[in-house]
Amino acid sequence: MNRIELVAKRQDDLEGDRPDYSVYAGEQLVGRVYCQVKRSDVEEWFWSVNALTVDRTIGIAMHGYATDLDDAKDKLRTAFEAWLLWARALPLSDLKRPHVEEETWARIRGIEGQPVPAPLLPPPLQASLWLGLG
């Protein structure tokens, strides 16, 4: 099965010592994961798929809160996988389709080592999330 790897690149901390990551699939920015609250007794993380064309028909939240980094990674991965299924199912007549194809396959093209034929969307893909912390 084809696999799209999500890679998080740490940004400069915007709020002091709170980790902040931009998440990419190939060259395409997908979203963000960052720590909103960091104290000795509690952390609160925010995750979002906010750099892709979305609408309510995807059927799940594209952003939310998490209790820790692993929880945020899992929730972002789940949202991204739902987005991929939604993107693949868009009818040819949908006005969002050209934008989705550009976001997905023009910028993620070649990740699996093979070019993706345009304008067709590829078969369902299994997304994975890898966050390099450092």
Q: pTM for this structure?
A: 0.74
Say how many domains are in the chain: 1
Whether residue 71 is predicted with pLDDT greater than 50 in this model: the reply is yes
pLDDT at 61 (0 to 100): 93
- pLDDT, mean of residues 6-21: 78
Task: Give me the chain's average pLDDT, please.
Answer: 76
Tell me the residue type at 38.
Answer: K
Whether residue 80 is predicted with pLDDT greater than 50 in this model: the reply is yes
Distance between CA atoms of 89 and 78, rounded to whole angstroms?
17
pLDDT at 109 (0 to 100): 54
Distance between CA atoms of 96 and 98, rounded to whole angstroms?
6
pLDDT band for 64, please (50, 70, 90 cuts): very high
Q: Residue 36 sits in which domain range?
A: 3-131
Could you please report the per-residue DSSP string of 72-130?
HHHHHHHHHHHHHHHHHH--TT-TTHHHHHIIIIIHHTTTTSSPPPSSSPPSP-EEEEE
